[in-house]
Amino acid sequence: MVKTRNRQWRRHHAKRVFKARLSVVGACMLERKLWFEISGEKWTRPYKTTGTPCSCWMCRGESFDRNAAKRETRQMVEEFFKEKL
């Protein structure tokens, strides 16, 4: 792809982000659908036209922190065993 951020780069990036968002949304639905199966539906327009369609963790781009998850799990296990003793 082009190294400069021109119109072509922005359109390519927008399509890539739209595809990634719909992949996550499709995976979280009850009946698992692929991104191109839901891309034409009306309710997916905010995922294409806005930077952040809502404030949920998927749309905000919040990433999973593996170390924090390990710490929380360790604390839960320690609390569980302290209660048992």
| pLDDT per residue as tens digits for the range 23-50 | 888 877 767 888 888 888 888 887 787 7
Q: Residue 36: inside a domain, yes or no?
A: yes
pLDDT at 2 over 60: no
Q: Residue 20: inside a domain, yes or no?
A: yes
Q: Residue 2: inside a domain, yes or no?
A: no
pLDDT at 14 over 80: yes
State the average pLDDT over residues 6-10.
85
Q: Residue 16: inside a domain, yes or no?
A: yes
pLDDT at 1 over 60: no
Residue 59 structure tokens: 């749309």
Q: What is the pLDDT of residue 53?
A: 60
Query: What domain range is 26 assigned to?
Result: 7-84
Number of domains composing the chain: 1
Q: Residue 1: inside a domain, yes or no?
A: no
Per-chain mean pLDDT for the chain: 79
Q: Is the separation of the CB atoms in 47 and 53 below 8 Å?
A: yes
Q: Residue 44: inside a domain, yes or no?
A: yes
State the average pLDDT over residues 16-22.
86
Q: Is the separation of the CB atoms in 17 and 25 below 8 Å?
A: no
